Structure 1
Amino acid sequence: MATIPELDPAEFGRWSRGNGIDIPDDVAVTRVGIGQSNLTYLLTAGDVRWVLRRPPVGNLLASAHDVVREARILSALADTPVPVPRIHGVCTDTAVAPAPLVVMEFVEAVALDNLPAAEALTVEQRRSVGKSMIDTLATIHEVDLEAVGLSDLASHKPYAARQLKRWSSQWEKSRTRDIPAVDDLTRRFLAHAPEQHETRLVHGDFHIRNVMIDPAAASVRAVLDWELSTLGDPLADIGSTLAYWPAPGGPQLSAVPVELLDGFPDRATLAADYIERTGRDPQALAYWHALGLWKVAIIAQGILKRVEDNASNRAAGGVPTTTVVDTLVEMAQSVAGEAGI
């Protein structure tokens, strides 16, 4: 258990047994995923497995990396059509660890965060995975907030203004150099925010490395990493997906951009499929695509800062470079300009 930062193994065993999870003291621990945010570990005892999540080590930006809130969302979605792992327990006992811990179900599925896993799929299966991702995202946006008890998850005020306020603040806290274009884009986004017609559950970080796939069905088996989930304009979610989705010759936020393999849809296809599936406004989507690029640039800068502050936060997927941040900002400017923003 010593591989999980700041964890007291004996206290963790006491807590897990007291909560009916019964994780043995000699459980094997492996850091999993190539994620850059919350730390994720696979716990294995014989043929039984659990997943443990905790925030990164070190100084964190306010409101970021809230695994307790993430667990609340997953629990609320447990009996909906949205595919999510089940939560076994949430630990806030500081005798166990100074940061909260969440233990959840291990989902038997494949993460497409490495080239061999994606190459094992046929071209047709990759095409099916892309369609399933869009269908899954639309399903998230169909959740009845009142029915699942999430109507108070966040503000119902206009989402664009909330996002701009939040991510501008994150930029100020994580910046290590000046990029005037970031501030210029903030002003432009404020001035051209489209009218919001609905408030829905949004995932906030929906991309191919945050889903797990059932290879046999070539469909999404589980949606992971809900820490940025909130209530807002559903078009913001697909906008972020487009921002993360790589294009040939563009910036790569992942060391393994599997989305470029034959069969996976390109950005235009993803956008068209979502609009066809939901009937939402394509012009408003262009705004959210540009804002998504701006937001992802700020997220990338935050990753750089966290790793600079504490090297143990470095993930297997590597760390974005300053060039990636600059290129994302340039792309946001380009998409915003084309959309008349």
Structure 2
Amino acid sequence: MGVPMDIVQTIEDAARAQSPPLLILDRVAEFLDACHLGTGPVHARRIGEGQSNVTFRIKRRGAHVVLRRGPRPPLPPSTHDMVREARIQSLLAPLGIPVPKILATCADANVLGVPFYIMKFVDGEVVTDAVPAHLDTLAQRRATSEAAADMLVKLHSVDATSGPRAEIGRPEGYLKRQVARFAGLWDLVATRELPEVAQLARWLEGNRPETQRHAVIHGDYRLGNLMFARQGPAQVKAVLDWEMATVGDPLADLGYLSATYSQAGSTATLLELSPVTALPGYLDRAGMAARYNAHFNLDLSALPWYEALALWKAAIFSEAIYTRWKNGERADGERFGAALEAGVPELLAAAAAHAARLP
């Protein structure tokens, strides 16, 4: 099986490729020219750990930007909407939520095969499997956890019911729609039988809690989607990856943060992409939830339901990645793709374990 190329120079190069490239540099240059973003040759390299949408750091004379696009088509319906993702960040920026500045959006799929957007490059640190030196004291490890919890509080404190925020989504029925949408998505992306998916879908619907409040929610809120300042005490410079943002139940964000947050003594899953938080100094899951809830005073007794929802959804979109990998549509992530054969069932088992904790 050949490996598809991510980046080519010209449309002629793209025509000779075995599958559509992710970037055609001449096309990118033309788009940047039209937007008055720098001049001259375009230099690009893939960045980030994203296993779904794809991000490239772009440099040319007078411009240092980031291009974000979806994976190669075909894409499941209502996914990888880059135009919407850019719009959400533009709406949140004036409200004090730190997001990259959106510079341009391209809805024309003829340029790169899918829509994409350009944002200003943010220089910072993402905490994953190594701790930046200036954040590697017990005090700063705790401060990093606290900053993550506090940023979620800040997001969930945004007025979600008036003005342009109402464009982001409709809160009524959010949890019911999530279960139905992802149950249907499994049928579109899966190539194997895993009956636990349907079993958990029935359990989630049968035990669905009442939403206590509505908020703008991120949908993929975890430490790996926060960019911290390179110097000084722990400070979030930007919240990244807004594809799944909407208006809904804020405990879905807290449940996702908790379920994907590494802590000592717990069984890890492939979604725990910042394993450093199992080290001494970082708050544990209960500590993160308590710091968050000090601001809202919600009933957290159903948090295991939200954690189960998070990992069940993660198993489904991970299966989509696994299917694309098996079909030879991913040029990177060889180890990650292979790991999903067992990793998806492990996510479903972890989701079931959270479900068993529901009072």
Match of 2:205 in 1: 190
Residue equivalent to 1:207 = 222
Deviation of 1:201 (Å): 0.9
1:5 is paired with a residue of what secondary structure? coil
**Residue 271 (structure 2) aligns with:** 253
Comparing 208-217 with 88-97, which one deviates more in the overlay? 88-97
Distance 1:300 1:8 in 2: 27
**Structural mapping, 1:44-55, within 5 Å:** 44-45=59-60, 48-55=63-70
Distance (whole Å) between structure 2 residues aligned to residue 289 and residue 94 of structure 1:
36
Matches of 2:326 and 2:147, distance apart in 1: 37
Given residue 13 of structure 1, which amino acid in structure 2 is its aligned partner? A
Q: Residue deviations 1:10-33, cap 9 Å, x none?
A: 3432322222323x3313211001
| 1:277 counterpart = 2:295 | yes
Indicate the residue corresponding to 2:312 in structure 1. Answer: 294
Match of 2:260 in 1: 244
Deviation at 1:284, TM superposition (A): 2.8
**2:347 maps to what in 1?**
328
Q: Secondary structure at the match of 1:268?
A: helix
Say if 2:241 is the partner of 1:225: yes
Q: Could you tell me which runs of 5 or more consecutive residues in structure 2 were left unpaired when the two chains were aligned.
A: 1-6, 10-19
How far apart, CA to CA, are the structure 2 residues paired with 1:119 and 1:164? 41
Give the total of aligned pairs. 339
Deviates more, 1:39-48 or 1:298-307: 39-48
The answer on whether the counterparts of 1:294 and 1:332 sit within 8 Å (CA) in structure 2 is: yes
Query: Relative to structure 1, is the Cα distance of residues 145 and 13 closer, same or farther in structure 2, using a 3 angstrom cutoff?
Result: same
Shift in Å at residue 94 of structure 1? 4.0
Distance 1:333 1:191 in 2: 14
Larger RCO (alpha carbons 8 Å, 6+ apart):
1
Q: Does the 8 A contact of 1:123 with 1:264 survive in 2?
A: yes
1:35 aligns with 2:50: yes
1:111 is aligned to 2:117: no
Q: Distance in 2 between the 1:180 and 1:300 partners?
A: 16
Deviations 1:161-211 (A, max 9, x none): 111011111212222222222211111111111112322111000111111
Q: How does 1:29-178 map to 2 (within 5 A)?
A: 29-45=44-60, 48-115=63-130, 117=132, 121-146=136-161, 149-178=164-193
Question: Which structure 1 residue ranges, 4+ long, deviate > 4 Å from structure 2?
Answer: none
Asked if 2 retains the 8 angstrom alpha-carbon contact of 1:84 and 1:224, the reply is: yes
Secondary structure of 1:318's counterpart equals: helix
What is the aligned-residue RMSD (CA, Å)?
Answer: 2.4
Q: Note if contact 2:127-2:274 (Cα within 8 Å) is conserved in structure 1.
A: no
Deviations 1:72-100 (A, max 9, x none): 00100111221111100001234422211
Which shows bigger deviation, 280-289 or 198-207? 280-289
Q: Secondary structure at the match of 2:132?
A: helix
> Cα deviation per residue 1:128-161 (whole Å; 9 max; x = unaligned)?
1111111111111111235551213223322211
Q: Secondary structure, in 3 states, of the residue corresponding to 1:78? A: helix
Paired with 1:63 and 1:234, the residues of 2 have a C-alpha distance of 21
Identity of aligned residues (%): 33
Deviation at 1:65, TM superposition (A): 1.1
> What residue number does 2:194 align with?
179
2:330 aligned with 1:312, yes or no?
yes
Q: What TM-score do the two structures reach when normalised by structure 2?
A: 0.87
**Residues 128, 188 of structure 1: CA spacing in aligned structure 2 closer, same or farther, 3 A cutoff?**
same
